[in-house]
Amino acid sequence: MAESINVEELQRNAQLRREIEEQITKRFADEDDVLRQTLAAQHQAGLPEIQISPIQGRLLQVLVAACNARKILEIGALGGYSGTWLARALPAGGKLTTLEISAKHAEQVRAAFARAGLSDRTEVRVGSASELLPTLQSEAPFDLIFIDADKGGYPTYLDWAIKLSRPGSIIVADNNIRYGKPFQEPPPDLDNAGVAAYNQRAASDPRLRSILIPMDDDGMDGFAISVVLP
Ligand code: DHB
Ligand code: MG
């Protein structure tokens, strides 16, 4: 018989993990009132509460610094929470362009950027990413591209992210673990199939060096991070 599971130890470890995450958040990734207001406004407007965690926001800022980003592209803005983390990390003269399919969400995002004092360095474009991405070629290359939109579109967005990048650009995609569903064979639905195809490409495309990192939802979800190689 297999050794019995020690439930108390599992619970202790889960609790400890949450406390460690709180400490990391407090010490490295503390939200300020502006970010809290963005979350409150998002809640008030009935938007889904599926934004990145503060630790993920801070990781995006670290990556912005790592690739010396001046031009950032975000695909999927939601309520402007991740966009605020991103735009705050830009140097003077830098710009975040964020694509959002929902006009209602886009209004929230513009209000969030205005509240954060970021209107001068941000632009929200409304429409489907598949239609907007080809129009961005004259503004490329982008130094960092953050993908956090409809999961079925992820393979297309990765294609465009590579097209709109330069050697040394960093491409990040959110929700590429999804409780392991993209690893099932076959994946259970089109969203998970999209993420599975993205992960497969990120892992094997010779133009990229990539890793998938367990982060939020107790490590059940996380970022795929790729650097575009010379
Ligand atoms: C979903 C989308 C997200 O971008 C996310 O971070 C979590 C959940 C969703 O569509 O369910
Ligand atoms: Mg997401």
186-198 pLDDT per residue, tens: 999 999 999 999 9
**Region 63-89 average pLDDT:** 98
Start-to-end Cα distance in the chain:
53
The two structure tokens encoding residue 200: 């497969």
Does residue 69 carry a pLDDT above 70?
yes
**Confidence tier at 2 by pLDDT (50, 70, 90):** low
Does residue 1 carry a pLDDT above 80?
no
Atom 1 in ligand 1: which residue has the minimum CA distance? 50
Atom 11 in ligand 1: which residue has the minimum CA distance? 50
Q: What are phi and psi of 170, to 5 degrees?
A: -115, 130
Atom 9 in ligand 1: which residue has the minimum CA distance? 50
pLDDT, tens only, 82-114? 999 999 999 999 999 999 999 999 999 999 999
Cα–Cα distances in angstroms (integers) from residue 18 to residues 11, 27, 155, 216, 217, in the given order: 11, 14, 33, 11, 10
**Structural fold of domain 31-228:** Rossmann fold (3.40.50)
For residue 145, what are the β-bridge partners? 73, 171
Does residue 4 carry a pLDDT above 90?
no
CA of 230 to the centre of ligand 1 (A): 32
Atom 10 in ligand 1: which residue has the minimum CA distance? 150
For residue 125, what are the β-bridge partners? 99
Does residue 39 carry a pLDDT above 60?
yes
Q: Rounded CA gap, 150 and 165, in Å?
A: 21
Domain ranges for the chain, please list them.
31-228
pLDDT value of position 221: 98
Q: Rounded CA gap, 78 and 98, in Å?
A: 10
- The residue assigned the tokens 């949450």 is 18
* Sign of the C-alpha dihedral computed for residues 77, 83, 87 and 89 taken in this order: negative
DSSP secondary structure letter of residue 192: H
Pocket of ligand 1 (CB under 6 A): 50, 148, 174-175
CA of 99 to the centre of ligand 1 (A): 16
Quick one: what percent of the chain has pLDDT higher than 90?
97
Number of CB atoms found within 10 A of residue 217's CB: 13
Pocket test for ligand 1, best of 42, 78, 151, 172 (most atoms within 8 A of CB): 151
pLDDT, tens only, 121-171? 999 999 999 999 999 999 999 999 999 999 999 999 999 999 999 999 999
Number of CB atoms found within 10 A of residue 42's CB: 22
